Amino acid sequence: MKDLAPHQDLTREDITALIISARKKTGLTWEGIAEAIGMSPVWTHSACMGMNAMPADKAAALVQLLDLPAEAADVLEESPTKIWEQTVPTDPCIYRLYEIVGVYGPTIKALIHEKFGDGIMSAIDFDMKVERVEKPKGDRVKIEMSGKYLGYNSW
């Protein structure tokens, strides 16, 4: 990471690197950070990684919690441009989610259309939880997603 002088313009990438470093130093989990700023762990991590804008009060709380430079709050409040660096992810965990959408995406779409009509599930008016479910044959990952239904407009 580049040297960050006190009045230097901080980029979203700079802030993400500072957050990751501060989280490691403090030993806080994403759930702990989320609880401290009053948001969900999923949203908190996504915003810290630059994929969502933070409301001013949440940005200020994060800056204080992690002892980030005051200018970081302004960057955290900016609406991000969401860019993925590669078409097919290579990280095994992320790839499996990509695979799930590849295999089950058409099924999910068909079932949404069958139950709601022609439309989509919002990724803006959206929440998600990730939980551990203990099972005798091996623990399971439970991902629950809930997005507002948005019907397509008919002309």
Estimate the crossing angle of helix 30-37 against helix 41-48, to 10 degrees: 100
Per annotation, catalytic residue among 31, 96, 140, 146: 96
**Is 122 one of the annotated active-site residues of the chain?**
yes
Helix (H) or strand (E) holding 142: strand 140-151
Angle at 20 between CA 17 and CA 23, to 5 degrees: 145
| CA atoms 69, 70, 71, 76: torsion sign | positive
Cβ 17 vs Cβ 1: under 8 Å: yes
Per annotation, catalytic residue among 13, 122, 140, 146: 122
Per annotation, catalytic residue among 99, 114, 140, 146: 99
Q: What is the residue-wise DSSP string for 69-105? A: -TTHHHHHHSPPP---S-SS--SHHHHHHHHHHHHHH
The tokens for 18 are 């500072």
**Is 154 one of the annotated active-site residues of the chain?**
no
**Is 23 one of the annotated active-site residues of the chain?**
no
List residues with catalytic annotation: 96, 99, 122
